[in-house]
Amino acid sequence: MKKSDFLKGLIHGIPIALGYLSVSFGFGITAVKSGLTVLESTLISLTNLTSAGQAAGVDIIASGGTLLEMVLVQLTINIRYALMALSLSQKLDKSFTFPHRMAAAYGITDEIFGVCAAQTEPLRPAYMYGMIFIATLGWISGTFLGASAGQLLPAAVSAALGIVLYGMFLALIIPPAKKQKSVLCVILTAALLSILCKYLFPQISGGFAVILCAVSASVVGALAFPREEESA
């Protein structure tokens, strides 16, 4: 492991860590409000490292959902990470042995994938470890601070800060929705289906509602905006 590669990864991961620090602060508050302890909230961030998956998982825990529901929701929300890993596998250095691949797979997130994909040189294990380390540290620290604050701050303040996590989701979907009609269609379809599940079919649990809305919206988007085959 080259120290220079690890240090480069650390430097490239600092902006990600700072962003994670603020976003996970909101998750920590949300988790505590749902009945989890500071330790439980922090351990979730340590073992998952997925904002949308964690938020959905906490909702399922709070509503007393089943393990099957949890598995299906996490699979639906986080399947994109598998696709990102497959994409990055084409950029890995020869020193990236199977154990290194397994270890690095833990830290593949949207932001880390974006930075790694932009690199012109083959990715070395030390570089990804440096980035994953600092980014994970930011995510865990923010969760711990948010969960601790959630136990001490007044309810009104905690509720206001808890919206940070949902603000991040909006920041992710609004820019592409402005540029692509297909993305806007999928977002609006998912929102409409979510409203229908909430008020017309309240018997559907929150976890299965997420699965139903996500899959259905994706199907609608694929049918309404089919991708044309590239000519050879």
Task: Write down which residue in 133, 156, 176 finishes a domain.
Answer: 176
- Pair 26, 133 in one domain: yes
Are 230 and 155 within one domain? no
Query: Within 10 A of 118 (CB to CB), how many other CB atoms are there?
Result: 8
Given the structure tokens 């229908």, which residue do they identify? 196
* Tens-place pLDDT, residues 53-100: 898 889 888 888 888 888 888 888 888 888 889 888 889 999 999 999
Indicate whether 188 and 131 sit together in one domain.
Answer: no
Instruction: Specify whether 204 is located in the same domain as 155.
Output: no
Tell me the mean pLDDT in the region 23-34.
88
Give the mean model confidence (pLDDT) for residues 139-150.
Answer: 92
What's the domain count of the chain? 2
Q: Output the pLDDT for position 232.
A: 44
Report the 3 state secondary structure along the chain.
CCHHHHHHHHHHHHHHHHHHHHHHHHHHHHHHHCCCCHHHHHHHHHHHCCHHHHHHHHHHHHCCCCHHHHHHHHHHHHHHHHHHHHHHHHHECCCCCHHHHHHHHCCCCHHHHHHHHCCCCCECHHHHHHHHHHHHHHHHHHHHHHHHHHHHCCHHHHHHHCCHHHHHHHHHHHHHHHHCHHHHHHHHHHHHHHHHHHHCCCCCCHHHHHHHHHHHHHHHHHHHCCCCCCCC
Verify that 144 and 201 share a domain, yes or no. Answer: no
Highest mean pLDDT among 24-28, 112-116, 128-132, 195-199: 128-132
- Residues 230/79, Cβ–Cβ less than 8 Å: no
**What single letter denotes the amino acid at residue 6?**
F
Where do we find the tokens 């309810």? Answer: 155
Q: Given pLDDT bands bounded at 50, 70 and 90, which one contains residue 158?
A: low
> Would you say 33 and 162 are in contact if contact means Cβ atoms under 8 Å apart?
yes
Question: Do 76 and 135 sit in the same domain of this protein?
Answer: yes
Residue 208 has pLDDT above 80, yes or no: no
Q: Which domain holds residue 185?
A: 180-232
Quick one: 58 and 155 in the same domain? yes
Tokens matching residue 25:
């602060």
Confidence (pTM): 0.75
Do 134 and 47 lie in one domain? The reply is yes
Which of 131, 161, 176 lies at the terminal end of a domain, its last residue? Answer: 176
Predicted pLDDT at 12:
94
Average pLDDT, rounded, for the chain? 85
Tell me the per-residue pLDDT of 88-110, one tens digit each, with 9 for 90 and over. 888 999 999 999 999 999 999 98
Q: Which of 225, 227, 211 is nearest to 183 (CA)?
A: 225
Please give the average per-residue pLDDT across 5-10, as a whole number. 92
The answer to whether 59 and 205 have CB atoms below 8 angstroms apart is: no
Provide φ and ψ at 147, rounded to 5°: -65, -40
From the list 227, 203, 196, 208, the residue with the least C-alpha distance to 65 is 208
Q: How many CB atoms lie within 10 A of CB 102?
A: 9
Q: Does residue 122 contact residue 128 with C-beta atoms inside 8 Å?
A: no
